[in-house]
Amino acid sequence: MKTTFMRAAEGRLRAQGHLLHRTATLAFCEGSVFNEADALCAHATATFKYLRALPTQGRHAKELPRARTPGGKEPA
């Protein structure tokens, strides 16, 4: 992904994304972020490759350990 920042983004923002082209294995995308005055604040382009999903039959996801605060206590 390549991101270009044009100006500082302040206030209410609006994002817009587009799929430019798609093949059987790739997607070419772009996105833009606009401020309240409809001025372009950031623009990004990216190429994504589709991956096959891993087989999940008979498999179970392991639970992730809980995050701890710097004092070693679990967050509330």
Convert the pLDDT of each residue in 32-59 to its tens digit: 999 999 999 999 999 999 887 777 777 6
2-49: CATH topology: Thiol Ester Dehydrase; Chain A (3.10.129)
Q: Using a pLDDT cut of 90, give the percent of the chain over it.
A: 59
Q: Is the pLDDT of residue 76 over 60?
A: no
Q: Is the pLDDT of residue 73 over 70?
A: no
Q: Can you give the pLDDT at residue 72?
A: 63
Convert the pLDDT of each residue in 15-26 to its tens digit: 999 999 999 899
Separation CA 10–CA 15 (nearest Å): 13
Task: Report the phi/psi class of residue 72: left, alpha or beta, with left for phi > 0 and alpha for psi in -120 to 50.
Answer: left
